[in-house]
A and B are shown apart, each in its own frame.
Chain A
């Protein structure tokens, strides 16, 4: 692998809580290449969110080192290298959809016309062109999550951190959103690196270049499974025998991880 954009070297994370210390991550080493789409999968509580938060400087490691673009995660955050999407859309309900998308650009001091233009083109990209001036509560859950993705993309971050972004959506919406996300990702130039947390096995296989399977108590990387399905991925990809084989492989791996 050429110089990785994200590098975990023997990272551990211990939370101190009321009931004593909790080891959320133990001895995790991982390298992620620029432009890669990586899915993190594992049972809940195995430290997926923690791993993502360590990359994004939303938590600090207890041991080992995390480097992002050869910088500390904090420096990368200050350089605005991260776009984040959570499971909940977290739109600000006092802002219209387009002004939600503009929010990071406002904070980063971009000129007004440029912000608006960027927001509108992103909203068209995620299929919300007609809802720019609506308020979030007028949108369905799937539409809100699309707006959240547009907001994360607005300032063209080089790394996209997504923590179960489709976890609250129904299966049909979810499959459509996966396809849309891949279209947006492969259409971007340069492609952002995506860290995508999920506990859906088919979702991980469908989206990712590599699936990182994690095991619980303490959270470790069980195995990294490369996904050799061709791109662009389509609805037919899910019917490919290779897709099933990979899904089975991830499932087996998760089972032995218990």
Chain B
């Protein structure tokens, strides 16, 4: 029997079935929570300024979907840019740490500590340094937030190959460049993507929260803060809805990229 046929036989129905099984329970839970929320707001007559019902939030969103999506995309692009910068630099510094272990001894423990620190607290300072209205300060916050977890995770991935795997390379008299590109880097890919998944969430949070401390009028964080400030709760919630949808889309994008980049993990 050929390996490919075995693979197809097992996986096609199993994968669809598995996907459905994995997909339904959270969807049901989600619908249940939304239903309870809707019922609670209506049944307990909760005032609108405290908590609008989901149906009201969606209706508010539908009044000006174009505008909300446009300011959402402005914020998302800050998140994307910051995440790209932070993750790239994090991976680069991790590679340098592998090349110069002395640097790793100094940098990696600090990066581990920095990953546990609420870097978002830097947001107001970033405003002072890079201009509170300009996107640069938001991108800066996101870049710093994503830099440390990526560095730590990619570094762990790069040093993950076992002694035997490295000895094999030595027995081929492989130059350091080959050891890096053919062993360390591919071994670090799963670590990189698990960092990236965390970083998508972090960067959406970072971008929105950074805008609470100032930003251009047409930005999600600014809109949420302004609307909440004048008790226009429905409007604030409709923007939060957009933030959630865009964050999810970003996350799914990373999942798809992960599958494409690591085909060998598909059936594991």
Stretch from A2-10, A76-84, A196-204 that touches the partner: A76-84
Known contacts A92-B186, A94-B264, A107-B182: A58-B171 contact under CB 8 Å: yes
Q: Are A94 and B3 in contact (CB under 8 A)?
A: no
Q: Are B172 and A80 in contact (CB under 8 A)?
A: yes
CB neighbors of B among A107-133 (8 A): 107-108, 130-131, 133
Partner of B4 from A77, A133, A137, A155 at Cβ < 8 Å: A133
Closest to A135 in B: B264
Hey, which chain B residues are within 8 Å of A131, CB to CB?
3
A88 and B164 alpha carbons, distance in the complex (Å):
8
User: How many interface residues does A have (CB within 8 Å)?
Assistant: 30
Known contacts A107-B178, A130-B1, A130-B2: A58-B172 contact under CB 8 Å: no
B45 at the binding interface (Cβ < 8 Å):
no
Q: Are B262 and A94 in contact (CB under 8 A)?
A: yes
Q: Are B174 and A107 in contact (CB under 8 A)?
A: yes
Q: Are B183 and A92 in contact (CB under 8 A)?
A: yes
CB neighbors of B among A66-118 (8 A): 77-78, 80, 82-84, 86, 88, 90, 92-96, 103-104, 106-108
Hey, which chain A residues are within 8 Å of B167, CB to CB?
58, 84, 86
Q: Are A94 and B189 in contact (CB under 8 A)?
A: yes
Q: How far does the Cβ of B64 sit from chain A's closest Cβ, in whole Å?
A: 47
Interface 1/0s, chain B 1-31, versus A by CB < 8 A? 1111011000000000000000000000000
Known contacts A92-B165, A94-B189: A138-B3 contact under CB 8 Å: yes
A84 and B167 alpha carbons, distance in the complex (Å):
9
Q: Are B165 and A134 in contact (CB under 8 A)?
A: no
Q: Are B172 and A107 in contact (CB under 8 A)?
A: yes
Hey, which chain A residues are within 8 Å of B169, CB to CB?
107
Instruction: Known A-B contacts: A77-B173, A138-B7. Give 13 more (CB < 8 A).
Output: A57-B170, A80-B172, A86-B164, A90-B168, A93-B264, A94-B262, A95-B264, A104-B172, A107-B169, A107-B172, A130-B2, A133-B4, A134-B7
- Chain B residues close to A by CB (< 8 Å): 1-4, 6-7, 162, 164-165, 167-174, 178, 182-183, 186-187, 189, 262, 264, 267-268
